Structure 1
Amino acid sequence: MNPQDGVLWSRNFSLSCLANFFYFGSFYLLLPILPQYVDTLGGTAAQVGLVTGLYTMAAVVVRPYFGQLADRSGRKKIMLTGAGCFTLLFMLYGLVEAIYPLYILRVVHGLAHAAFLAAAAAYIADLAPSARRGEAMGVYGTANVLAMALFPAWGTAVISRTGDFNYLFGLSAAVAGLAFLCILPVRELAAAPAGSRPGAGFLTVGKRREVLLPALALFGGATTYGAIIAFLPLFAPQRGITDIGIFFTAFAASTVVSRIFTGKLSDRIGRQPVILPCMALIVLAVCILAQLSSREMLIITALLYGFGFGAFMPTLNALVVDYTPPRDRGAALGFFTAFMDLGITAGSVILGFVGELFGYTAMFYSSAVVAIASIAVFIAGMRKAGVVNHE
């Protein structure tokens, strides 16, 4: 038995993965019914986008700060604060009677989201054995994907059967509460050895090539993700395909497989030999999607995209950790993961204008161009920095 197996599959790691599953489960319970809820409040289609965008942008702005705070105050404390607030805020949705108070609630909820994610990413990075970091990141991320595969359908079914939004808000709070309870027994890990100098600020850390370049690559991949999530439900029916759910099922299954196997592969052969082919798969899948003509084509796209994106983010994440000292990991990962939200926002909002003016085919091709440009910058920048590979 590998002596690191016990470290990777420790109680702390297992509970963290379970917390991640329940945390994102509560998030995905609410996500698919938000447009319906906004509609009941008299909101417009534009306000549906704003409700989503405010949440994301709030998380983007403060996530690096919470990462830095986790470096100074401890990972577990910030994880508990984020998960606790995230749980309680679900109970306030039922009290909202107009669209503008919902804006405020979504901003505050985004702040709690940022706190949990930034601290949890740093906690897993500290916990993972260095020789199995890619595998650990992949397994941890799989919990999120499993939640995405299961909970949206549950949330939709609840509303279809009961029509009771308050019941769903309570259910989301209960699931988020399970995430909080999973965190309680985990052991706090010191972000830096006692007596060491304080970590650098997140802006200082973000200027380092080994953090900034992976963040830009993540932005490119996340832009394609934002475009798909926001506009596939509108694009596919135009091509005569109404069963959109099959895409997300195939995407989730492929992502799980990818994260389990490619994380371990990146530990053996290095990060970039995994990152680059996965980015190529992302670009290929988006280009195929732009020419969508059948259900079978949609499934193939989902499998290719899920495998590429499933390995892409955790391997980039592991690359950032490889070159970041423990005292700066919270700040570095807070900065890095914020680019996921920025990319999703760019794909769903900015490229939305491209789709409106030139059509969805042009929009998907444009997202592929953004992804190609980001990976070109990543390759050139890493070579210039002398970071050709990591083993």
Structure 2
Amino acid sequence: MPKSLSPSFAASDLRLGLRANWRQFSLLVVVNAFVGAMVGMERSILPAIAEQEFKLVAHSAILAFIVVFGVAKACTNYFAGRFSDAYGRKVVLVIGWLIAAPVPFLLMWAPSWNWILLANVFLGVSQGLTWSTTVIMKIDLAGPKNRGMAMGVNEFAGYFAVGAAALATGWIAANYGLRPQPFYLGVAFVMIGLLLSVLVVRETRGHSHLEAAMTPSPGAAVPSQRTIFWQTSVRDPSLSSISQAGLVNNLNDGMAWGLFPFVFGGAGMTLAQIGTLAAIYPTVWGVCQLFTGALSDRIGRKGLIVAGMWVQALGIAIIALRSSFAWYATGAVLLGIGTAMVYPTLLAAIGDVVNPVWRASTVGVYRFWRDLGYAIGALLAGLVADLYGVISAVWLVAAITFLSGVIVAFRMRESRST
């Protein structure tokens, strides 16, 4: 990996901006939709499989699939960013799709719950590689002016697909059974995503070097990975605030993924209704990011992040308080809106303050902490649910989410000049 930045990239025929790169950008939007769909296909039905087919009772045991997914994805995110800086984005994307190939087959035919856990290790590694690189590639292409919009569109594609796949597999499971039929979709997702990535996606690392050559101090030395890790995790007030907010955001998502099906089922919701409720939250999250990402380009990042964490906390609290389909749907909508306010804005804020040449490495560290939230949220929620009840676990996560917004309000600096 080069130790300094070279201005020679500015002489290339590469261009920055969404308009100049709309074909590749649009293609990456489609690819990321298939990445998101891989997660969505198990989101509404895996807890039911755990209870009905494998006779698991303890919530902590059932939520173990989210723990292994979160740890695998978090660790892979860390290395995906560094590898993308060192070797290029496309090769990392293709490897991610190859690792995803066994996942739907393992989910279809797993003879024990341990095989489901293995499938989620593969899924986590794959998601860490594929989603990380599609994020990094869109930041590369967009340039500094429309970074928030680019992240909004990226996360829209991924999480709208999560919701659509959750709805589709919930419907298939309700009509044809929990296995194997819902996971046939996953085979198609892998095949299409892999073919697009191999045949049509182009490398974008040159765009990051072009942007670096156009920024002040283009010859700045590249920090060590250790320095990048500690700056992003602890030392820099803005980057560390962003990292903790990302972790808490996925902490509550891990809880929602694992416990909400039990909350809804305990209130008498049918499998089809649970699938619908499981789809509402990521679908609203996905659609709203089309607007919130661009809005952060106009009004700044910090206010949206703080307000978004508090809206999430409100949505979770409503689900803890009420027990009807309408109220659950209301809570899911608020949770989706709040997450949409936060998710693309956090990524855009990192792009604002980090040198483009080591930006992928910084994004990798941020995404390490963010997706570790899946594991922490599932583990914490499962243990509290087993000890004190499911609703107590939901309330605890609502309180943590509210506190995270307070930390951002007091510690983060605004990164976008408006």
**In the superposition, relative to structure 1, how do residues 161 and 105 fare at CA in structure 2: closer, same or farther (>3 Å)?**
same
The match for 2:30 is 18
Q: After superposition, what is the alpha-carbon deviation per residue over 1:197-225, rounded to whole angstroms, capped at 9, x for unaligned?
A: 78545442232224322010112222222
**1:55 corresponds to 2:69:** yes
**Aligned twin of 2:346:** 316
Contact 2:135-2:154 at 8 Å conserved across structures: no
Change (3 A) 1:379 1:105: same
- Name 1:212's counterpart in structure 2: 240
Residue type matched to 1:207 in 2?
A: W
Match of 2:310 among 273, 280, 288: 280
Q: Which blocks of at least 5 consecutive residues in structure 2 are unaligned?
A: 1-15, 214-218
Q: Displacement, 1:331?
A: 1.5
- Residue identity matched to 1:268: R
DSSP 3-state at the match of 1:341:
helix
Deviation at residue 369 of structure 1 after TM alignment:
2.1
User: Which of the residues 52, 70, 91 maps onto 1:77?
Assistant: 91
Mapped pair 1:354 → 2:370: no
Distance 1:162 1:366, change over 3 A: closer
Contact 2:64 2:378 in 1 (8 A): no
AA matched with 1:204 = T
What secondary structure, in the 3-state scheme, does the structure 2 residue paired with 1:244 have?
Answer: helix
Looking at structure 1, the residues matched to 410 and 249 of structure 2 have their Cα atoms a distance apart, in angstroms, of: 17
Instruction: Quote the RMSD (CA, aligned, Å).
Output: 3.0
Q: What secondary structure is seen at the aligned counterpart in 2 of 1:130?
A: coil
**Aligned positions, number:** 385
Q: 189, 197, 203: which is aligned to 1:188?
A: 203
How far is the alpha carbon of 1:63 from its aligned partner? 1.6
- Displacement of 1:278 in angstroms is 1.5
Contact map agreement 1:286 1:305 (CA 8 A) in 2: yes
Which deviates the most, 281-290 or 26-35?
26-35
User: Shift of the alpha carbon at 1:181?
Assistant: 2.1
Distance across 1 between alignment mates of 2:68 and 2:248:
21
Range that drifts further, 34-43 or 297-306: 34-43
Question: In structure 1, how many angstroms separate the alpha carbons of the residues matched to 2:178 and 2:329?
Answer: 33
Deviating more after overlay: 159-168 vs 209-218: 159-168
Distance 1:150 1:193 in 2: 36
Q: Structure 1 residues 294, 52: closer, same or farther in 2, change over 3 A?
A: closer
Q: How does 1:79-98 map to 2 (within 5 A)?
A: 79-91=93-105, 96-98=110-112
When structure 1 is superposed on structure 2, of 299-308 and 45-54 the one drifting more is: 45-54
Deviations 1:291-337 (A, max 9, x none): 11433322221222211111211101110111111222222112212
What is the CA distance between 1:367 and its match in structure 2?
Answer: 1.2
Q: Give ranges in structure 1 of 5+ residues lacking alignment.
A: none
* Overall identity of the aligned pairs, in %: 23
- Offset at 1:92? 5.2
CA 286–164 in structure 1, closer or farther in 2 if over 3 Å, else same:
closer
Post-superposition CA distance 1:152-186 (Å, at most 9, x none): 23234444555584555554122112112222312
Report if the CA contact (8 A) 2:85-2:358 is conserved. Answer: yes
Q: CA separation of 1:359/1:308 partners in 2, compared to 1, >3 Å: closer, same or farther? A: same
